[in-house]
Amino acid sequence: MAGERATERRVLRRERKRGLMGGREKWFSLTASLLMLAAESACGGGKAVLFNFGDSNSDTGGLSAGLGYIFPLPEGRVFFHRPTGRLCDGRLTLDFLCESLNTSYLSPYLESLGSNFSNGANFAIAGAATLPSNNPFSLSIQVLQFLRFKSRSLELVAQGFKDLVNEEGFKKALYMVDIGQNDLSGAFDSNATYDQVVSKIPSIISEIINALKILYGTGGRNFWIHNTGPLGCLPQKLSLPRKDDSILDPYGCLTPLNNAAKEFNTQLSTLFYELRSELSEATIVYTDIYSIKHDLIANHTRYGFESPVMVCCGYGGPPYNYNANITCGNPACNVCNEDQKFVSWDGVHYSEAANTIVASRILSTEYSTPKLKFDFFCSS
C-alpha cells in the first residue's frame, strides 16, 4: 500500500505544480492546498478505515466489476489515464476524501483482482437506490454484502491474515452513506407528479435509517451521511422536453426537481436529529452536499468554471450537449479539452475539477452538522 500511495502522491504533486487540469485560478490553488494540508495531518499518523455505501457518485468500479463491463476512454483520462470504472474523467469526491486521510482509494467490494481491503471497502454501485430494497445492489443489499465482508474478514484475521480489518478496525471505522438521488430521479422519470415523488421520500429515508441501525447494531459508531444534490441542475434532466422555461430558476435549473431534492434533505436532516438520541453511542455527521453543489452551479465563475449546465463528454451541442441515446463513451460523442472548465462530465456525474471543489468544501466543515473534521474518527 505504501508504494501505491507514494505513486499517487507524486502524480498529485506534479498536477498541482502545473495547475490542476491545465491552469486553474486561485480557487483551485486554495483547494489543492487544503487537500494537501488535510492529508499531511490525517489521522495523527494512525490508520484510517472507511466503508462506503451509495450510488455512482461514489462508485470506484463496483458496477464495472459486477457486470464485467469496461468503460472506454475518455473515462478516467485526467488522473488515472485509463478507465477505472468511475463515471468521471478522473477522481471522485470520495477519492479526494481518501487522499485527505493519506490512505489508498477504496477498492470495490466486487473487484476480485488487485483489491486492497486493509483500509476498508466500497459497496457503492452505479444505479443503486434504496427502493425496492430487494433489488440487486440496493442499499439494503450493500449492507448485507458488508455483513458478509465483516464476517469473512474477522474469520481470516483469526487465522493469521494481517492485511484485513480486525474487530477494532470495524469499530473505529467511518461508515459513509451517499444515496437517494436515483430514487428521486427514477420517480420523476416514471412521469410521477411532484406530489407523488414527495410522497415516496419517507420510504426512501426509512431505508437509510434502517441501514444505519444495522451498521450500529454490528458495532459501527462513526457515520458520515451526505444529503442529495440539486437534481434539477443535471443536464440529463434539463435536456428533457418541457412545455416552457417557466419552471427554470435563475441559474437555469429545474425548480420542481430541486424542490423535491430539498424536501428529501429536510426530512433526512430531521430524522437524523432524532436518530442521534436513539443511537446514543454514535457520532453522526450530516453533510449538506446540496448547498455545496448548488453554490458551485450558482457561482461557477467564482470557481473558474465556464459552463455549469453543459456536458463535457456528450452529444448535441449547446445549451446542454446531452443526448440520452448518445452518451459519454459513444464514438459519436464530442469531448471538451482537458483545460476547459466544466462542472458536468457526462450529464449526471461531475468532472474531477468539480469534485475537487466539492471535496474541499466538505473538508472545510462549513457544511457539516456537527462541524467535525473528516478525520475525527481516527485522529486520537
> How many whole angstroms separate alpha carbon 50 and alpha carbon 169?
9
Number of neighbours of residue 88 by Cβ within 10 angstroms: 31
Q: What is the CA radius of gyration of the chain?
A: 20
Length of the chain (residues): 380
Catalytic-residue membership of 226: no
Strand-pair category, 313-314 with 334-335: antiparallel
Indicate the residue type of 39: A
Contact 312, 77 (CB under 8 A): no
Angle, CA 116 vertex, CA 162 and CA 216 arms, to 5°: 80
Q: Which of 89, 349, 351, 375 is catalytic?
A: 349
Residue 156 C-beta-side C-alpha neighbours within 13 Å: 13
Catalytic-residue membership of 300: no
Indicate the residue type of 344: S
Q: Which of 95, 346, 351, 375 is catalytic?
A: 346
> How many whole angstroms separate alpha carbon 282 and alpha carbon 220?
8
Helices (H), 286-351: 289-298
Catalytic-residue membership of 346: yes
Distances (CA, A) of 181 to 115, 149, 228: 27, 26, 6
Provide the phi-psi class of 321: left if phi over 0, else alpha when psi is between -120 and 50, else beta: left
> How many whole angstroms separate alpha carbon 268 and alpha carbon 273?
9
Using alpha carbons, select from 175, 116, 99, 109 the residue that is nearest to residue 137. 109
Q: Residue 360 belongs to what H/E stretch? A: helix 352-363
Using alpha carbons, select from 359, 243, 343, 332 the residue that is nearest to residue 300. 343
Residue 208, judged by CB atoms within 10 A of its CB (0-12, 13-18, 19+), counts as buried
Indicate the residue type of 312: C
Beta strands in 23-97 (DSSP E): 50-54
Active site residues: 56, 346, 349
